[in-house]
């Protein structure tokens, strides 16, 4: 492979990142090759290591290097409350508030029929199993407050309620249309306390 091709392959690989167009990809590739070879090496090793080792927690679906993540294994957590979030980033946002001591189920997305993301893709069946384990007493829906997040919350809520489970939704202190990970911590903590 000629050097030109290697650069081109690198640029194409960088373009796979969300929000990165051809110009940004070129800039990153040139920067790494011209100014930061050590950084490039570290990046490639980190990527390789992550791809080999990161997978989904068998219980909550979040990213972990173990079979079951440290949050799910933490005996201090309140196993009677299960909070449903869309992404690990949303989970982190809730964790940073320190207002929630229960456990999580991470959908790793949200319902989006047009993109082919249905109940199976968000693990609805697994969530049902988890919520019906006899320990969980309340399922708190903390999906985002935009159209798809609301639709996802609605479907999950109807499904869980049909099994007689107690379902609450994060209160509406969170601005409509917002992604949880960008909302300030006080607002999230408030929405959590005021859930209904």
DSSP notation for 119-148: TTTTTHHHHHHHHTSSS--EEEE---SSHH
Confirm or reject binding of residue 69 to Zn ion (CB under 5 A). yes
Question: Among 10, 14, 57, 84, which residue sits at the site for Zn ion (rule: CB under 5 A)?
Answer: 57
Nearer of residues 59 and 110 to Zn ion, judged by Cβ: 59
Site string for Zn ion, 4-23 (x = CB under 5 A): --------------------
Structure tokens at 68: 């079951």
Interaction of residue 60 with Zn ion, rule CB under 5 A: yes
Give the interface segment with Zn ion, choosing from 5-13, 31-39, 61-69, 160-168 (CB under 5 A): 61-69
Beta bridge partners of 106: 85
Using the rule CB under 5 A, which residue among 14, 72, 84, 111 binds Zn ion? 72
The Cα–Cα gap between 134 and 48 comes to 40
Return the range that interacts with Zn ion (CB under 5 A); candidates 58-66, 107-115, 132-140, 184-192. 58-66
Nearest approach, Cβ of 159 to Zn ion (angstroms)?
Answer: 21
From the list 133, 82, 124, the residue with the least C-alpha distance to 105 is: 82
Interactions with Zn ion, residue window 107-126 (CB under 5 A): none
Distance CA 97, CA 69 (A): 20
Applying CB under 5 A, the span of 22-30, 56-64, 126-134, 150-158 interacting with Zn ion comes to 56-64
Q: How far is the CB of 114 from Zn ion (least distance, A)?
A: 29
Could you give the angle at the alpha carbon of 54 between the alpha carbons of 134 and 131, nearest 5°?
15
3-class secondary-structure state, position 170: coil
Q: Does 130 bind Zn ion (CB under 5 A)?
A: no
Among 181, 178, 20, which Cα is nearest to 106's? 181
**CB half-sphere exposure, 89, CA atoms < 13 A:** 7
CB of 97: closest distance to Zn ion in angstroms?
19
86/141 Cα distance (integer angstroms): 10
Which residues in this chain contact Zn ion in the complex, by CB under 5 A?
A: 57, 59-60, 69, 72
């Amino acid at each position: 492979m000629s050097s030109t091709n290697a650069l081109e392959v690198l640029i194409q690989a960088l373009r796979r990142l969300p929000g990165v167009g051809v110009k940004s990809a070129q800039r990153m590739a040139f920067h790494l090759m011209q100014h930061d070879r050590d950084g490039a090496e570290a990046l490639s090793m980190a990527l390789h290591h992550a791809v080999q080792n990161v997978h989904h927690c068998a219980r909550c679906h979040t990213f972990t290097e173990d079979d079951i993540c440290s949050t799910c294994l933490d005996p201090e957590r309140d196993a009677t409350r299960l909070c449903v979030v869309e992404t690990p980033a949303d989970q982190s946002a809730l964790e940073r508030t320190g207002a929630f001591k229960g456990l999580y189920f991470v959908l790793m997305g949200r319902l989006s029929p047009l993109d082919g993301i249905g109940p199976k893709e968000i693990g609805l069946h697994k969530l049902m199993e988890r919520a019906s384990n006899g320990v969980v007493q309340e399922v708190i829906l903390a999906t985002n407050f935009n159209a798809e997040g609301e639709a996802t919350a609605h479907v999950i809520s109807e499904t869980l309620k049909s099994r007689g489970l107690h379902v609450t939704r994060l209160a509406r202190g969170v601005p409509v249309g917002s992604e949880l990970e960008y909302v300030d911590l006080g607002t999230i903590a408030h929405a959590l306390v005021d859930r209904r």
